Amino acid sequence: MSNEIKGSRVRGQGPAPAGFKQGSEVRRALNKFYDRAFSVVGLIATMVGLAVLLTLLIDVFMDGASRLGWQFLTSYPSRKPEQAGILSAWVGTVWVMALTFIIAFPLGVAAAVYLEEYSKKNWLRDFIEINIANLAGVPSIIYGLLGLGLFVRALSLDRSVISGSATIALLVLPIIILSTREALKAIPPSIREASYALGASKWQTISYQVLPAAMPGILTGTILAMSRAIGETAPLITIGALTYVAFLPTSPISSEFPFLSLRGLFDAFSVLPIQIFNWVSRPQKGFFTNAAAGIIVLLIITFLMNGIAVWLRHKYQKRIRW
């Protein structure tokens, strides 16, 4: 065997003995076969994910499409599957997402701007960087425990919208920081130098030149982070978001003076993925249909957000050539 391999290595250096040549022919044919076989196996393996995704979508759609409708979107959960709906769940999701954005976006962008534009390369920056990389990998349920210990108990915010939003905001913070830094890195130094040359200060340069130029990239990352946040279930269950909610958080707009109310922040809530989880874990079959219908709504929102992010990235990647 080892002779044959040696034979193939010195191929082309004068005539090889007959036995050698035959061996290397077989070897070469075999290698070619492996090569061809892998190009098929590889394609199949790559398609596995795709096939499962399609199966999942078709399965969920077949199970739940019949349940979708106006009534489903405008009803509270109920003990009777055919009367139950996702009103409190999707309103809760809108609340939590809006607040998460309000908390995490400014904080994340500010942190990224500091790390990318201000900080010098020293131990502190290395420490913060390792720290963010590690936070991005902490399981989401751990954030739930943090929220439970910090917001729900220590700050006595209870199982409220604000507790949930703050928890999710901390969860998506590392993702927003990392993607914002990427966006800032893509802005060439010449833009900054031109601004300084015109006499602008550092902050003027950042706020008038760098941030606007990086905004599409920042938004892409943020939308992706939010699309992940919208499906997060475990941390909200851990902080004690309710699984059965037959009311809505107090509306932020009221008819009486001062017309704006923040009471909703402190109301109990549920979100779409928790409602789905609740329905999946019930024994009655009717609730499975509801879960599937809820999943269709959740997936539509998730894919829509992902689509917008990809579109944004694509659009600006093409147009801007520094």
Partner 1 sequence: MYKRFRVKEKIIEGALFLSALSSVFVTFGIIAVLFFETYEFFKEVSIIDFLIDTQWTPLFAEKHFGILPLFAGTFLSTAIAMAVSLPIGLISAIYLSEYASEKLRTAIKPILEVLAAVPTVVYGYFALLFVTPILQKLVSGLSGFNSLSPGIVMGIMIIPIIASLSEDAMHAVPMSLREGALALGSTKFQVSIKVVLPAAFSGIAASFILGVSRAVGETMIVAIAAGQQPRLTLNPLVPIETVTAYIVQVSLGDTPTGTIEYKTIFAAGMSLFVVTFFLNMISYWLKKRFREEYE
The one segment of 67-75, 77-85, 139-147, 246-254 that binds partner 1 by CB under 8 A: 139-147
In the range 150-179, which residues lie near partner 1 by CB under 8 A? 150, 153, 170, 173-174, 177
Query: Closest distance between partner 1 and the C-beta of residue 170, in Å?
Result: 5
The one segment of 68-76, 94-102, 187-195, 274-282 that binds partner 1 by CB under 8 A: 274-282
Q: Which is nearer to partner 1, 67 or 264 (CB)?
A: 67
Picking from 306, 294, 297, 292, the residue whose alpha carbon sits closest to that of residue 56 is 292
Q: Which is nearer to partner 1, 183 or 295 (CB)?
A: 295
Query: Closest distance between partner 1 and the C-beta of residue 257, in Å?
Result: 33
292 binds partner 1 (CB under 8 A): yes
CB 274 within 8 A of CB 236: yes
The single residue among 34, 244, 247, 311 that binds partner 1, judged by CB under 8 A, is 34
**Which stretches of the chain are DSSP H helices?**
2-9, 18-64, 70-73, 87-113, 123-137, 140-147, 161-185, 189-197, 202-204, 211-230, 234-238, 272-280, 285-319
- 269-to-72, 116, 129, 131, 161 alpha-carbon distances in Å: 18, 37, 34, 31, 6
Neighbours of 203 (CB within 10 A): 11
286 binds partner 1 (CB under 8 A): no
The single residue among 134, 254, 261, 317 that binds partner 1, judged by CB under 8 A, is 134
Size of the site for partner 1 (CB under 8 A): 91
Q: Which is nearer to partner 1, 126 or 193 (CB)?
A: 126
Rounded-to-integer distance, Cα 312 and Cα 220, Å:
6
Cα atoms in the 13 Å half-sphere on the side-chain side of 167: 36
Q: How far is CA 268 from the centre of its chain?
A: 25
The one segment of 91-99, 222-230, 245-253, 260-268 that binds partner 1 by CB under 8 A: 222-230
185 binds partner 1 (CB under 8 A): no
The one segment of 14-22, 78-86, 125-133, 185-193 that binds partner 1 by CB under 8 A: 125-133
Q: Three-state SS for 271?
A: coil
Rounded-to-integer distance, Cα 53 and Cα 160, Å:
35
CB 208 within 8 A of CB 166: no
- 320-to-61, 143, 214, 277 alpha-carbon distances in Å: 39, 38, 11, 43
Q: Tokens 């997936």 belong to which residue?
A: 299
Site map (CB under 8 A) of partner 1, residues 85-104, x = contact: --------------------
Sign of CA dihedral 156, 249, 309, 109: negative
In the range 187-206, which residues lie near partner 1 by CB under 8 A? 201-203
Query: Closest distance between partner 1 and the C-beta of residue 259, in Å?
Result: 30
20 binds partner 1 (CB under 8 A): no
Q: Three-state SS for 253?
A: strand
115 binds partner 1 (CB under 8 A): yes
298 binds partner 1 (CB under 8 A): yes
Q: Which DSSP letter does residue 97 get?
A: H
Q: Which is nearer to partner 1, 142 or 248 (CB)?
A: 142
The single residue among 17, 19, 69, 139 that binds partner 1, judged by CB under 8 A, is 139
Query: Closest distance between partner 1 and the C-beta of residue 266, in Å?
Result: 19
16 binds partner 1 (CB under 8 A): no
